[in-house]
Amino acid sequence: MRPAALVPILALLCAGGADLVSAQAASPPVVRSISFPGVRALDRSLVADAVETRRGSPLDTGTVRRDAERIEALYDAWGYPAATARGESTQRGDGRADVTFHVVEGAPQLVRSITVRGLDTLSPPLHLPELPLRAGEPYALPLLDATQRLISTELANRGYAFAQVEVSGGATPPEGGASDVVLDVTPGPVAVFGTVEIQAERPLTERDVRARLAYEPGDRFSPEALERSRERLFGLPVVDSVDITFAPGPEGSGTVATRVAVGTGRVTALQGSGGLSSTRCLQGVGWWGSRYFLGAPRTFTLTLGTANLLRDQLGGVICESDDEQGVFTHPDFLVRGELRQPVGSRTWLLADLAAMRETQAGAYVRRGFDGRFGATRELRWGLLGSAAYAPQRTEDPSAALFFCGVYDACSARDEDELTDAATLAPVEVGLVWASPGARRVAPGPRPEQRWLRQLLPDRAVVARATLAAAGGPSFSEYDYGRALLEGSVTQFVGRRVELAARGRVGALLGAGDILPPQVRLFGGGPYGVRGAPVNRLGPKLLLLRSDAVVPGCEVRPGGCEGATVDPDDVRVRATGGDALLETGVEGRVWVTGWAQLAGFVDFGTVWSGAEDGTPAAVTRTESLLSPGIGVRLLRPVTFRVDVAYDTSPDRVYPLLASDPAGGFVRLGDVRFLPFGDEGGWSEFGRRLRVQISSGFTY
């Protein structure tokens, strides 16, 4: 190519390069940060949500200007008509910019008084809860709207479905200042339910849906009945969504027409989960289930699971593994089939059969078969009743030391007889109650807006009572009765603070006879007194290690009386008890939307019920007070870790040893140093108990 021919090409390239440089110089900077100096009266997140400018987006000065107008409109709606906002952008040399919205809030328009008229005709009188809009606070339109909706809801709960709540006061004076708000209420007639339109996705039928409605045409209108219907429909596992809407019926009829639309998910499902905890160690479980089994909304679930994995490797850190014979460290398994059959709108029948090996470390092992056949019924909203027959045929290879220590059955013959497979067949009845608000409580901080928080419950309460009895009429080899009462209450304070209390009280009747360990009451662990290892709350038995050398201690009857031992010399086993009390109080703070810190104090007492002459009689009652701190994470998995302080003093316990000929030898009562005799920081570290509960689902 001739040099002269290159001239036009070079000119085009230069022009293109100049255009590229010009385009780069003209591209807007990226927003690096957004700040709102002067924002105090409103939540900053509320103001940030009102603007369209976002971090990481190109800077648009027109949008910034309009965002300032949006902030002023937001303040005006929340009772600050004099508020002003000015947007400002500062460009940096690195292609980024900082956006600042300077806000001057000004004086608010206050509510001087609130008057609600038109409720005096109701009988009995309607007592309104605290209203979102309050005297002495800014005249906020969102709070006014929430107040109207709250009054309408309270009237609807009385059956006044067509109530009208109108504002006839509250106009802003020209110079600002206070307003008198007057709400005129027209209750209207008491309404009843009218026609019901059903839309059900397959495989559900219209009959399936109607059977679970908590109302019928002609019943007095009640939003509570709509909510109960929604809960009952969600009780069908195949149901994926429920939408219930209502509207006035034909003019002058005084009826409310409802439309119930129910969506379904997969009929069959395969799921799995795994977890790590102080109680079950490493565990995993899988389910296959049919949610519309054999052409009806009954369910069938097949469960395969394993637990107690890696207990030796994780022992001392997460789960207990202090077991010389290894019986508490073997893997567990579960094979279970469960059939649930609805009967009407409020009752479920249950049939459950399982083969399993279940370990409760330091307490007992169940290996064999069990079943459960019964029914659950909604007695009223929030209250469930149940009755069941729960036979089991199991053996406990760990029970020999328990029977010797608690019932003085220490011979080889006793060991052979009492650890063989046995039948327990209790009849159980139970009640579960939850406050209506408990169903709407989700983990995490409360909403930013105070008026939204007022629409949520400020307290959640759950209580459970269970009574079980077994004997000859139920084909049980053991006679006993057992009662257990559990409850918890959570009080929400503001957005991020929760105060909680819980308690568990149990009693065992018939404990004068020899009973297997699984019917006794055990405490401690992440769901009990957290300063005690799992199942280790209360009186204990000590088993001399085969390789231990204890000064002043000989392996013969009474050969260790008065000796001193520590955890390096013995294995520790809980006796359980025939009476139990566990309680705790806790304060929690959400530091982020997914992380919570807690401080707690737990207390528990176990009465062993041991009779005179048994090894366990040396300590009939034992209590523990345990303070601690914890952290709860909601992602990537639900996870809670508690660190509690064990305040246990030195105590006297019975010491036993395995007899080479079978059975056990009573060595006498010894002084047990649960944390050794080193003192100082070493003892402090041993007193700290780490309790872990976690899990994931995929």
683 contacts: CB under 8 Å, gap ≥ 6 = 675, 676
Tell which of 264, 292, 315 closes a domain: 264
Same domain, 135 and 182: yes
Residue 290 resides in a domain = yes
Is 656:612 a contact under the CB 8 Å cutoff?
no
Same domain, 257 and 367: no
Is 468:481 a contact under the CB 8 Å cutoff?
yes
User: What are the respective helix, strand and coil percentages of the chain, to the nearest 5?
Assistant: 20, 45, 40
Residue 422 resides in a domain = yes
- The total number of residues written for the chain in this structure: 698
Same domain, 84 and 220: no
Tell which of 59, 74, 104 closes a domain: 104
What are the angstrom distances between the C-alpha of 694 and each of 332, 631, 633?
18, 12, 9
Same domain, 448 and 345: yes
Provide the terminal-to-terminal Cα distance of the chain, rounded to the nearest Å: 67
Residue 536 resides in a domain = yes
Regions of the chain with pLDDT less than 50: 1-25, 174, 696-698
Residue 286 resides in a domain = yes
Cis peptide bond N-terminal to 649, omega within 30: no
Six token digits for residue 509: 């009747």
Give all strands (DSSP E) within 474-558, no chain letters.
480-493, 497-509, 540-544
Tell which of 49, 84, 104 closes a domain: 104
Same domain, 523 and 598: yes
Tens-digit pLDDT profile for residues 238-275: 999 999 998 888 877 889 999 999 999 889 988 888 88
* DSSP H or E segment with residue 150: helix 141-157
Same domain, 199 and 172: no
Same domain, 340 and 423: yes
Handedness of CA 546, 550, 556, 562 (dihedral sign): negative
Same domain, 143 and 255: no
* DSSP H or E segment with residue 670: strand 664-672
Residue 469 resides in a domain = yes
Please give the Cα distance from 205 to 199 (Å, whole number): 9
Same domain, 54 and 86: yes
Same domain, 176 and 203: no
Q: What's the confidence (pLDDT) of residue 362?
A: 86
541 pairs with which residues across the strands?
573
Q: What are the backbone angles phi and psi of residue 617, rounded to the nearest 5°?
A: -70, -15
The strand pair at 281-290 and 299-309 is best described as antiparallel
Kindly state the greatest CA–CA separation across the chain.
120
Residue 7 resides in a domain = no
Q: What's the confidence (pLDDT) of residue 641?
A: 92
Please give the Cα distance from 518 to 506 (Å, whole number): 14
Residue 3 resides in a domain = no
Tens-digit pLDDT profile for residues 91-121: 887 889 999 999 999 999 999 999 999 888 8
Q: Domain total for the chain? A: 4
What are the angstrom distances between the C-alpha of 81 and each of 42, 49, 77, 105, 168?
13, 19, 8, 9, 20
Q: What's the confidence (pLDDT) of residue 177?
A: 66
Helix axes 223-234, 141-157, angle to 10 degrees: 90
**What does DSSP assign to residue 205?**
-
Same domain, 530 and 630: yes
84 pairs with which residues across the strands?
104
Please give the Cα distance from 263 to 252 (Å, whole number): 33
Q: How far is CA 391 from the centre of its chain?
A: 30
The CATH number linked to 379 is 2.40.160.50
Burial of 308 (0-12, 13-18, 19+ CB in 10 A): buried
Identity of residue 420: D
The CATH number linked to 229 is 3.10.20.310
Same domain, 151 and 59: no
Domain region containing 321: 270-697
Residue 17 resides in a domain = no
